[in-house]
Structure 1
Amino acid sequence: MKNFCSILLCLCLPFFLSGCWDAVELQQRAIVLMIGIDRIQHDSRGIRVSLQLARPQNLSTPPHPSSESGEKNTVVVSQNGIDVNDAIRKIQLATDRRLFFEHARALVINEEVAKHGTLPIIDSMVQARTAPRDAWLFVSSIPAREVLQYKPALDAIPSTYFTNFFGNRLLLKRSYDATLGGFHQRLVTPGIQPFAIWIGAGAKELSAPELRGIAAFSGDHFVGGFNQEQALGWQLLVNQFPKSPLTFTCPDRSDGKFVVNVRSVHSTTRVNCAKGSAPVAVISVRINGWVGNGTCLKQANQTDLKLYKQQVEKQTVTVLNTTIRYSKILNADILGIGQSVYRYEPRSWYGDTEWNKGFHQVVPQIHVDAQLEFLQTYKKLGST
């Protein structure tokens, strides 16, 4: 009887196990690698969605060292629609495979679309899981379809090449902030504005778009871009700068340079909001690193080290002031100064709308402390 019950239990258990009832075979999927959003010319209401689709049958062979490898492995299809879902539905109806977005690595939005607001696009994608939350978000000064049509020669999959390329160039500590999920999270966080990666037309030999800097937003509207120098100040202010070398002008000669290998950067922001006066943002930045090399390095002594320290502090203050000034011009607080008010001065916080009206009145007080050491011992020229 015991054996009979065991056999009966074994026969019944498979009926309670879940199976792959909704599985879709690989050859029946259209794998989406990148998504591009453009505005339709002569139609302010519609948008054009482009999808970069993989050709799985070609990805098994190694890429050839030519600019045509990306063309063989991917194809770009586009459709117009009143919104993203409508355009994607039209693409789905025009292909014999089911669109699969789990491998999408990036969303590229043209500037003209971003200026009119990105929330309807991003919100629908995040809520409907059209694109993963960890997909990179780019704002492009050229049509998004052109970005998807770049054909890198060094990687069989263009989306992988692009994301790795920008990941190496950006050097962000918290790269999630530059993704769809990070944008969406900053968009609903009080006192801080979202950002994206700002790209443009690149040189043909690079096989990738140009990294222009950081795309700044006011709410969900694109308002302007921070160039490379301004983006550096932003990195320092928001603790996004990782271990990386920085170049500074020699203290005794304007045509010379020296390099500081930065080990760490730590910044804090406190805002004093007194009634009847403009808010004062007290910003403290501490830079740790060592002086590596340069045309003005001849010897290692405390006197020269003090001069290098003063030069680093002076030049860093200038970069930070430039970034804050431009941020105020754009009225885009991607620096998170308002977030400091929300956290540490809650009685002076009256909401994002009021802060956006008064953000341009912020008076910065920047203090930079450079803690430097020599990487190696330098001798005087001509010494033995």
Structure 2
Amino acid sequence: MDCIRWWKYKSFSLFLLLSPTMFLLAGCWDRTEVNDLAIILATGVDISKKDEIELSVQVFIPKPAEGGQQGGMSSGSTSSQTLVRSAEGVTIGDAMSRLQEKLTRRIFWGQNEVLVIGEKLAKKGVGDQIDFWMRYTEPRERADVFVSKISAKEVLESMPELERDSAKQLRKLVDSQIGVKVTVKDLSEMLSGEAGAAVIPWVANLSPSNLGVNKGKNIPFIKGAAVLKGDKMVGRLSDKETRGILWPRNEMKSGIITIRTNEDSGYVSLNLLRSNNQLIPKITNGKWSIRVKTDTDLEVLQNTSNLNLIRPKLLKEVERKVVQEIEGREKLALANAQKKLNADIFGFAEAFQRKYPKIWKKQSREWNDIFRKVDITFETKVNIIRTGLENEHAKTGGEDK
């Protein structure tokens, strides 16, 4: 009998102990169903005709999977799974509230991976727009940023041929690592850095599609980069100049270099395997200089010349030509950024600040004037580690050079 009383007492005590915790357990009263969300894949920001912010969003349209298709691709045509909606406001937040009025589902930013800024807005200034992305908790800081020649809304409405939407098309292009890749977080850090300059992928005029239901519609492509200084767009870089800035920034991960030989009209194309780049700053007697040091490995993809690349002397000649090509691209980009735009998009300021913190603290405000006068030299080492199989007899009729 005592055991029964003891057990009842212990059970009642345990119930009193656990009862308060029941009120702290998470419930599902405030859950949001996926079917109640407007999932944003990409965002575009423009200046409207009223000189307000025009916010455009690319919304995912959920559809049941169609039978007979694999990997989400249909045969012969691409069916859009997105729609684009826009609203205007004095700020992005204001425009977002007006945009919500046009959507039956709650705006969800968690899947937004692309931010496109129209050229007109970029020239006016992007600082306030980046402030929204960095301050508001829902949008992704890792979203890729682009500046477009046409309106950002038109880019979102474009229809790619191979990808399901323009957002994925743009992400795939920057992930290919043949140009610059900049996220919202990267852009914020560059604009708040010592140089206050940034470079962003440039979306040029769109090319028309020839594919089925998309015929006549446009496809977004990246061509070069936009240069920002003090949060305003001050100019552009061509494709060749953009590749030139990747070497000093140590962002050259892949690419193909084609050089012309001296021997004849033939060419040699080489594939980049590895590249390591360093900025070595120096201040002597008040003179600021920096050395761009590059060490890269390549392999031969194609040789249309009569040079037998198995011969060390001829291989060295090709390597010398590649050095000239790399440094030529770097000099082209540096001349535009240093002399014309006066925008340090290479990270020179940070390099000087790290090595000479005391001098930098005294003279950082004079950087705009100093940057124009920085003496830039190059130290480029090229190693062709794979030449592939040679077939000289087939090209020269049996004569070997």
Tell me if TM exceeds 0.5: yes
- Aligned equivalent of 1:151: 159
Distance 2:194 2:203 in 1: 27
Kindly provide the CA deviation profile for residues 299-333 of structure 1, in whole angstroms up to 9, marking residues without a partner as x: 21111111111111122221111111011111111
Kindly provide the CA deviation profile for residues 43-95 of structure 1, in whole angstroms up to 9, marking residues without a partner as x: 44x12111111112x2644454466612xx21111111111111111111222
Distance 1:100 1:351 in 2: 46
Kindly provide the CA deviation profile for residues 354-376 of structure 1, in whole angstroms up to 9, marking residues without a partner as x: 21232122221112111223433
The question of whether the paired residues in 1 share the 8 Å contact of 2:260 and 2:266 is answered with: yes
Shift, 1:208, TM fit: 2.6
The question of whether the paired residues in 2 share the 8 Å contact of 1:193 and 1:336 is answered with: no
| 1:46-195 superposed matches below 5 A | 46-56=52-62, 58=63, 60-61=65-66, 62=72, 64-65=74-75, 69-70=79-80, 73-168=81-176, 170=178, 175=181, 178-191=182-195, 193-195=197-199
Distance 2:307 2:143 in 1: 47
Distance 2:41 2:186 in 1: 19
Query: Mean Cα displacement is larger for which, 188-197 or 331-340?
Result: 188-197
Distance 1:133 1:231 in 2: 24
The question of whether the paired residues in 2 share the 8 Å contact of 1:64 and 1:153 is answered with: no
**Amino acid of the residue matched to residue 82 of structure 1?**
V
Q: TM-score, normalised by structure 2?
A: 0.85
Distance 1:139 1:227 in 2: 14
**Amino acid of the residue matched to residue 87 of structure 1?**
A
Q: 2:354 aligns with which of 343, 354, 359?
A: 343
Query: Mean Cα displacement is larger for which, 46-55 or 154-163?
Result: 154-163
Shift, 1:9, TM fit: 5.8
**Amino acid of the residue matched to residue 219 of structure 2?**
A
The question of whether the paired residues in 1 share the 8 Å contact of 2:223 and 2:239 is answered with: yes
Shift, 1:165, TM fit: 3.2
Q: Are positions 1:358 and 2:370 aligned together?
A: yes
The question of whether the paired residues in 2 share the 8 Å contact of 1:270 and 1:283 is answered with: yes
Q: Are positions 1:330 and 2:336 aligned together?
A: no
- Aligned equivalent of 1:230: 241
Distance 1:201 1:79, change over 3 A: same
The question of whether the paired residues in 1 share the 8 Å contact of 2:307 and 2:314 is answered with: no
Q: Structure 2: state its 5+ residue gaps.
A: 1-6, 67-71, 211-217
Query: Mean Cα displacement is larger for which, 214-223 or 3-12?
Result: 3-12
Shift, 1:118, TM fit: 0.6
Report SS of the residue matched to 2:131. helix
Report SS of the residue matched to 1:224. strand
- Bigger Rg, structure 1 or 2: 2
Shift, 1:98, TM fit: 0.9
Distance 1:359 1:297 in 2: 44
Report SS of the residue matched to 1:69. coil
The question of whether the paired residues in 1 share the 8 Å contact of 2:78 and 2:164 is answered with: no
Distance 1:216 1:238 in 2: 14
**Amino acid of the residue matched to residue 120 of structure 1?**
D
Distance 2:302 2:253 in 1: 19
Structure 1 stretches of 4+ moved >6 Å: none
Distance 1:107 1:351, change over 3 A: farther
Distance 1:210 1:164 in 2: 11
Q: Are positions 1:216 and 2:224 aligned together?
A: no
The question of whether the paired residues in 2 share the 8 Å contact of 1:191 and 1:341 is answered with: no
- Aligned equivalent of 1:287: 296
Kindly provide the CA deviation profile for residues 105-155 of structure 1, in whole angstroms up to 9, marking residues without a partner as x: 101001110111111001112101352011110000111110000122433
Report SS of the residue matched to 2:27. coil
Query: Mean Cα displacement is larger for which, 178-187 or 60-69?
Result: 60-69
Q: 2:43 aligns with which of 35, 39, 52?
A: 35
- Aligned equivalent of 1:200: 204
Kindly provide the CA deviation profile for residues 199-254 of structure 1, in whole angstroms up to 9, marking residues without a partner as x: 1122123853121112211121111121111111111111101144322222333x
Q: TM-score, normalised by structure 1?
A: 0.89
**Amino acid of the residue matched to residue 115 of structure 1?**
K
Distance 1:65 1:166 in 2: 26
Kindly, what percent of the aligned residue pairs are identical?
A: 24
- Aligned equivalent of 1:318: 328
Report SS of the residue matched to 1:246. strand
Distance 1:360 1:21, change over 3 A: farther
- Aligned equivalent of 1:256: 266
Distance 1:171 1:276 in 2: 35
Shift, 1:263, TM fit: 1.9
Query: Mean Cα displacement is larger for which, 225-234 or 264-273?
Result: 264-273
Shift, 1:287, TM fit: 1.6
**Amino acid of the residue matched to residue 364 of structure 1?**
I
Q: Are positions 1:296 and 2:308 aligned together?
A: no
The question of whether the paired residues in 1 share the 8 Å contact of 2:266 and 2:305 is answered with: yes
Shift, 1:297, TM fit: 5.2
The question of whether the paired residues in 2 share the 8 Å contact of 1:192 and 1:335 is answered with: no
Distance 1:296 1:68, change over 3 A: closer
Distance 2:167 2:300 in 1: 37
Report SS of the residue matched to 1:273. strand
**Amino acid of the residue matched to residue 331 of structure 2?**
N
Distance 1:66 1:261 in 2: 33
Shift, 1:351, TM fit: 5.9
- Aligned equivalent of 2:315: 305
